[in-house]
Amino acid sequence: MSSKICVIGSSNIDQIAYTQNIPADGETLFGDSFQMGFGGKGANQAVMAGLLGADVYMITCLGDDVYKEMTVTNYEANNVNTDHIQMVKGASGVAPIWVDSTGQNRIIVIPGANNEIDAQKAISSMEEIGNISVLVGQCEIPMEVNHEVFKFAKNNSVTTIFNPAPARKLETEFLEHISWLIPNENEFELISGMEPSDENFLKFNKEVPCNLIVTLGEKGAVLVHENKTHYFDAPTVEAIDTTGAGDSFIGTFAYELSESNSPEACIKKAVEKASDSVTKKGTQSSYN
């Protein structure tokens, strides 16, 4: 039996429009195709870990709309335990996404029920699950919930991974509860106030009480550790849709870490999976 991974975070329905060019202000364009799928950074990361064979538990919040049962069914189909999903009245989260001909995406997240997740219920769920090896979180639920849940995890010797997306400043007190902080380049720049570079990666790493990995898109990722940077190159692929690639990285890294592999081995596998995901359309539908 694999070690237990708990993901606390968002569940969204992705509404993806594929188009040659993104419309300018006031402009209407015909798109190429439309696809609806399951998303939310927390959901994506849980599904990626589940597909790899992890024992994954999802703590999220859904509304009482048409998307609720679809979302639960999708989790179960992808090896993610749904016993600890919270339910509230109102709308579930949605994310309209535009993807242009280069594979680049623009996303608007409308959190809905994700904003209603209850921290104490989440902690009770973690106590009930028991013996959690790794906790994964992101910024698509209220940060006060993350503060309480990650503090509980750290106090109970759970390895914690935090993906600061969408990007926002993080309090030092919160970072003390994080084992692995994994932003992408843009998120690194916002939370650190510095441009991505070796010098700034090392400087920021000295300022935070946690391990640091920065994902670099088609350039792979960098591990910042013991006053050194270790780069992991990504394979050259033809990118069709980059949506969800970062979440694929996080889910894979969490699984590999829960299996007690070295950080270097975990990152190498995560880069491979993320690179593979951009060669297919969709978010979770691009994972394997």
Contact 239, 218 (CB under 8 A): yes
Nearest alpha-carbon partner for 263 in 238, 288, 226? 226
Identified catalytic residue from 14, 55, 241, 247: 247
Q: Cis bond leading into 166, ω under 30°? A: yes
Tokens standing for 211? 């391990």
Please state, in angstroms and rounded to a whole number, the distance separating the CA atoms of residues 8 and 235. Answer: 30
Please state, in angstroms and rounded to a whole number, the distance separating the CA atoms of residues 119 and 234. Answer: 37
How many CB atoms are closer than 10 A to CB 142?
15
Residue 247 annotated in active site: yes
Contact 283, 243 (CB under 8 A): yes
Nearest alpha-carbon partner for 117 in 47, 176, 66, 63? 63
| Residues with catalytic roles | 247
